[in-house]
Amino acid sequence: MEAADYLSGQTILLDKPLTWSSFQTVNKLKYALKRKDVLLKNIKVGHAGTLDPLASGLLIVCVGKNTKKISEYQGLPKEYTGTIRLGATTPSYDLETAIHQTFPTNHLTEALVQDVIPQFLGEIMQKPPIFSAIKKEGKRLYEHARNQEEVEISARPVTIHAFEITAFRLPEIDFRIVCSKGTYIRSIAHDLGEALKCGGYLTALRRTKIGDFSVEDAWQITDLEQYL
């Protein structure tokens, strides 16, 4: 494609690498476009839904006039796969922070886990993790957390369309979740652990779909750089 094609608007699917931020991934694409053609030096580029550095998977990137579609894409349901470790908790609900509490898991069975899954289906009220970018009193929640400040976090409605256990190997379980915009999979891991009275936290996460867009159709960033 020529510079004019990108300026007129393109939607690009990227497979965000593990440990990269969404911002870093988008910037890699921006720099590649700038190197391709001087006309693309100031082109608008944005993504439709942040992925944490500890997550990999589908990132929808809008270029040129297609940046007007970002909010449309953000509203689409999302599919994730990943792993929850039961028997312990972390303050961030994932591997960003160290384990701070452990609990016995000898009461757990696959049947018990399956019995509590329906609690997380449909529209539910969910509290975001304290280690998140949501603003409270003018600061990000993670800033309050790092300063060890107590803040009240309000629960918000989210919709879980599907929650499937795909592998059961204690203390870990693999899952597939389809959910609405604004859902924190880390909170589901934590809340599932509470429901099972054993604690839980997220150890792996991959976004596989956004609406009808699939990570199977996404570019690896290095391949896209070479193509450009």
3-state secondary structure of 48: coil
Q: Is the pLDDT of residue 153 over 90?
A: no
Of residues 36 and 211, the one with the higher pLDDT is 211
Of residues 151 and 201, the one with the higher pLDDT is 201
Closest CA to 9 of 74, 70, 69, 63: 63
Cα 82 to Cα 161: distance, rounded to the nearest angstrom: 16
Strands 200-210 and 213-214: antiparallel
Q: Is the pLDDT of residue 18 over 50?
A: yes
Q: Is the pLDDT of residue 11 over 70?
A: yes
pLDDT score recorded for residue 38: 85
Mark whether 191 is an active-site residue: no
Q: For 129-152, what is each residue's pLDDT tens digit?
A: 876 555 555 555 555 445 565 666
3-state secondary structure of 25: helix
pLDDT score recorded for residue 223: 95
pTM: 0.92
Percent of the chain with pLDDT over 90: 82
User: Annotated catalytic residue: which of 52, 191, 217, 223?
Assistant: 52
Average pLDDT over residues 106-114: 96
Q: For 39-82, what is each residue's pLDDT tens digit?
A: 898 999 999 999 999 999 999 999 999 999 999 999 999 999 99
pLDDT score recorded for residue 104: 96
Average pLDDT over residues 184-199: 97
